Structure 1
Amino acid sequence: MPPKVTDIQPNADNAHVLEEETAQAARRIVATYAQDFLDGVTLMSMLGVEPAGLVHKKVLAEQEELAPKKSSKKASKKASKKATKKATKKATKKATKKSTKATKKSTKATKKATKKA
């Protein structure tokens, strides 16, 4: 026997309203958990619930234009930290070499003094 067909089919209009409500709820949840605006836009785009007119590529391009100003300060700080580390390493190496030379000279002098006596 063929399966029974019922007259209970969802209306197309009801499905559209339900999808919009679900998308709004998803946007609220994403906005709650997003750390910043770009993170929220990225998550909404990944879920497919971004608002009409919001294009991830445009938002990303705008954020990248603003980002180099901030990153240049970090890059200069990192470079200065590396330079200071190198300078301190060189200074410690020189100091250890000088101290080892001094100890060698003092041991030679004590050996000579003990031989003469």
Structure 2
Amino acid sequence: MPPKVTDTRSAAAEYMVALEEETALAARRIVATYSTDFLDAVTLACMLGVEPEGLIHRKVAADFEAEGPKKATKRTRKKAASKTATTAKKTTKKVAKKATKTAAKKATKKATKKTTKKA
């Protein structure tokens, strides 16, 4: 019977550590892709347990609150652009309605004038 080998686990442990580090790096990339700002990225990474060494959520959140949240300029521009587009549509509709109303009034006036001339 061959002797029992017990030290094969050390190689497997090293492999597992390398695999864990690789998986954590991939998870950090995904978190960075889906987060909207730095605080969001830190929060998601800490929730998943894939934050880099030395990154503490409490400290980052305290720093973020101290400097105050910044407004996203891209979102406000998009909203303003969409508001102007909707107001432009509304004014176009109003102008079209007025034009049809005035055209209808003119047509009725002409029709009444013709009928009064014939009589």
TM-score, normalization by structure 2: 0.52
1:5-62 Cα shifts (integer Å, max 9, x gaps) = xxxxxxxxxxx97985564243133135344476764443223243331123444677
| Unaligned runs of at least 5 residues, structure 2 | 1-12
Percent identity over the alignment?
A: 40
Give the secondary structure class of the aligned counterpart of 2:51.
coil
Between Structure 1 and Structure 2, how many residues are aligned?
Answer: 107
CA shift at 1:89, angstroms? Answer: 1.4
State how 1:59-98 maps to structure 2 within 5 Å.
Answer: 59=60, 71-98=72-99
CA distance in 2: counterparts of 1:41 and 1:24, whole angstroms: 18
TM-score, normalization by structure 1: 0.52
The 3 A distance-change label for structure 1 pair 46 and 26 is farther
Q: Check whether the contact 1:27–1:44 (CA below 8 A) recurs between aligned residues.
A: no
2:21 corresponds to which residue?
24
The 3 A distance-change label for structure 1 pair 82 and 114 is same
Q: Give the CA RMSD over aligned residues.
A: 4.3
State how 1:1-117 maps to structure 2 within 5 Å.
Answer: 23-36=20-33, 41-59=42-60, 71-117=72-118
CA distance in 1: counterparts of 2:32 and 2:61, whole angstroms: 15
